[in-house]
Structure 1
Amino acid sequence: MPPTESSTGTDSGTGSGTAPSTGSGTRPDTSLGAGPVAGRAQTGPESRAGCEDTLDLRLPGEFLALFETSERDEGAAPLRDAEAHPNHGEAAPSGGGRPPREDLLDGPAHWGALATPFGSFQLIPVSVDRDLRLISGWMNDPAVAAFWELSGPDPVTSAHLRAQVDGDGRSIPCLGVLDGAPMSYFEIYRADLDPLARHYPARPHDTGIHLLIGGVADRGHGVGTALLRAATALILDNRPRCARVVAEPDLRNTPSVSAFLSAGFRFAAEVDLPGKRAALMLRERTLARLL
C-alpha cells in the first residue's frame, strides 16, 4: 500500500474508540489522526496468530491491579497520586490541596522543539480553559468525528480532556505546534498502563500516540508523516526507558495506516478493540535511526 495521506486527519494508533478514561484509554480513531481506544474487547485468536511479537506473556500484577481497579470503580473520581502510589506520593500540602502526581511520561512540557520539513514542531500540554474551543472545533469536523466520536457541544470535548488533565498522568493531551501555530492534537500515553496492554504483548514503558490534524490545509502532502516522525523522535529522545512507540489506527483509515508506515512504524498485527478493528503499529528504538 503506497503511503498516501488523505485530506482527513491522522489516526493515531492507540486510540480506538472508547469513552475517556484517566489513561489514554481508547477512543475512536481520528481521521488521519488516531483516536483513543475505549474499553477494549479481547483480541480474537485470529488477530494474535499473525503477530510476530506474540508471546505467552503474563502482565505484571501491578498492571492488572490497575485495570481491575479501573473496572471496579468505573465512573469514580481518579485516585490522587499519593493514594494510587503510596510509596511515591508526598504528603498532601496543608489546606487539603492535591499532592503532586507521579510523572509517568517524563514531562512532555519540557521536551523542546524539533525541526521538520514543514517547520519547527513542538508538543504543548493542553490547557482546557485556553484550548477547548480550538480542539472542540476540530472534533466537530466530520472527517475527524468519524473516528474520534467527540463531536457535539464544547462540554463533550471538555470531559474528554479533563479526564486526562485531572487524571493520574497516564495520558497527556497536547497541542502539536508548528512554527508557533497550533495545528494538531496529540495524546501521549503509557500504553503499558492502558487497557490496550491486554491486546498485545506490552513491555514496560511502551508509549502510545494518538493524533489528529486540525485544519484541512494541513492534511496530506506528507504533513501527517512528518508530525509522526517528529513526535516519535521526541518520545524516544526524552523517555530513555521507552523502547517502543505504539499506535493502533482503525484499519478502515487507510491514510492514517499509510502515514504510520511512512513514518517508520511497522505493522505487527490486527487487533479487535471495542470500537474498531485496529492495525497494531510499532516503532522500535533500535530501528528508529534506520527507518
Structure 2
Amino acid sequence: MPPTDASTDASTHLTTDTGTASAPGNEDTLELRLTDDFLALLSEDTGSEDTDPCDGGTGAGQGGRPANGELLDHLADWGPVATPAGTLHLVPVRLGRDVPLVSRWMNDSAVDSYWKLGGAEDVTANHLRAQLDGDGRSMPCLGLLNGTPVSYWEIYRADLDPLARRYPARPHDTGIHLLIGPVAQRGRGLGSTLLRAVADLVLDRRPSCARVVAEPDLRNFPSISAFLSAGFRYSTEVDLPDKRAALMCRDRLLRDLM
C-alpha cells in the first residue's frame, strides 16, 4: 500500500493520500495470499450483524478472481455519482491507458514526497500491476469528474489488509487512499467533497460494509481536517511501519448526522 498521506484541501503544495504503511509496490497489502476456499466464503458472506462502529480503540487482473470483483462487490460496475463538484465516476485503472497519467501525477514533487512512486513509468506500472494481478482486495481507480481524470484512488479491503492488525477491524471494513492529481485542483475543498462522495458510494454499493476507514499521518492536520469535513470521525491512533496515524472512520449508522 502507499505511504503516508498529504493534505486534502488546505494547501496547494500538498496532495492527498490516505495510505497506510509501505512505499513502492503492494508488498504489505498483498503479502498474504487468500485461498480459493476463503475467497469463495468471502463472496458468500453477507456481513456481520455487529453494528458497533469503530470501537476506539472490475478489475483488470490477470488471474480471473480479481476480474470477478467479489472482494469489492464489483467496483467496476458501481457507476457514476453526483457530487457538489460534478459527476464523479470511479473507473478501474488500465495499465496500457492510464500509466502515463498516473506516473505524471506521482512525479509531482509534493506527491512523490509521500507516495514515493516518482521516477520512470515502470515504477508506477509495477505499483498498479501488484494490485491488478492480486486477489482483488485492492483496486486502483481513476476518479473522473465530469469525464475528466482529476484523482487517483485505491479502494481496498481494510479487514484483509495488515492495517487490520493495528485496530479492531470488522468484516468488510473498506479503506480508501486518494490523490488529487492536477495541481490547480488542490487546495479548493475538492478533496473533502470527493472523500465524502466516495465514502458514501462505498456504503451504498457495499451493503456488507458498516464503515469506511482511512489512516492519515497524525501530524497532517490539514488532511485530518479534510476527513472531518467529509463526515469521517477520529477514532484512535495506530502505529504503522512508517508513521503514527489517525484512524478516521465514516460509519454507516452516523452518515446522515455527519
TM over 0.5: yes
Q: CA deviation at 1:256?
A: 1.5
Does residue 1:11 correspond to 2:17, yes or no?
yes
Deviation, structure 1 residue 138: 0.6
Task: Report the equivalent of 2:102.
Answer: 135
2:10 and 2:188 in contact (8 A); partners too: yes
Give TM-score scaled by structure 1 length.
Answer: 0.73
- Tell me by how many angstroms 1:253 deviates: 2.5
Give the C-alpha shift of residue 196 in structure 1.
Answer: 0.2
- Cα distance per residue 1:126-157 (max 9 Å; x no partner): 00111000001111111111111111111111
| C-alpha contact (below 8 Å) 1:5/1:224 kept by paired residues | no
Alignment counterpart, residue 198 of structure 2, candidates 199, 206, 231: 231
In the alignment, the residues of structure 2 paired with residue 278 and residue 226 of structure 1 have an alpha-carbon distance, to the nearest angstrom, of 22
- State which structure, 1 or 2, has the greater radius of gyration over its C-alpha atoms: 1
TM-score (norm 2): 0.82
Question: Deviation at 1:99?
Answer: 4.0
Gaps of 5+ in 2: 1-7, 44-61
Partner of 1:21: 26
How many residues of Structure 1 are paired with residues of Structure 2 in the alignment?
Answer: 230
What percentage of aligned pairs have identical amino acids? 57
Q: Which amino acid aligns with 1:15?
A: T
Shift of 1:88: 8.3
Tell me which residue corresponds to 1:260: 227
* CA gap 1:4/1:173 in 2 versus in 1, 3 angstroms: closer
> C-alpha separation between the residues in 2 aligned to 1:244 and 1:226?
18
- The answer (yes or no) to whether the contact 2:9–2:186 under 8 Å persists in 1 is no
Of 167-176 and 107-116, more deviation after overlay is shown by 107-116
The answer to whether residue 175 in structure 2 is matched with residue 169 in structure 1 is: no
After superposition, the Cα gap between the structure-2 partners of 1:182 and 1:86, relative to the gap in structure 1 and judged at 3 Å, is closer
Q: Is the 8 A contact 1:209 1:246 kept in 2?
A: yes
Unaligned runs of 5+ in 1: 26-66, 71-77, 90-96
Residue of structure 2 aligned with 1:118, choices 65, 70, 85: 85
Structure 1 runs of 4+ off > 6 angstroms?
Answer: 86-89
Aligned counterpart in structure 2 of residue 183 of structure 1, from 150, 158, 163: 150
Q: Summarize the alignment of residues 269-280 of structure 1 with structure 2, pairs less than 5 Å apart.
A: 269-280=236-247
The CA distance in 1 between the partners of 2:225 and 2:42, in whole Å, is 41
In 2, are the aligned partners of 1:15 and 1:24 still within 8 Å (CA)?
A: no
CA distance 1:240–1:153, change in 2 (3 Å): same
Q: Once the 2 structures are TM-superposed, how far is the Cα of residue 209 of structure 1 from its aligned partner? A: 0.2
Task: Rate the CA distance shift 1:192–1:86 in 2: closer, same or farther, 3 A.
Answer: closer
**Residues 1:23 and 1:236: Cα distance change in structure 2 (over 3 Å):** farther
Report the equivalent of 2:254: 287
Higher RCO (CA 8 Å, separation ≥ 6 residues): 1
SS for the counterpart of 1:132 is helix
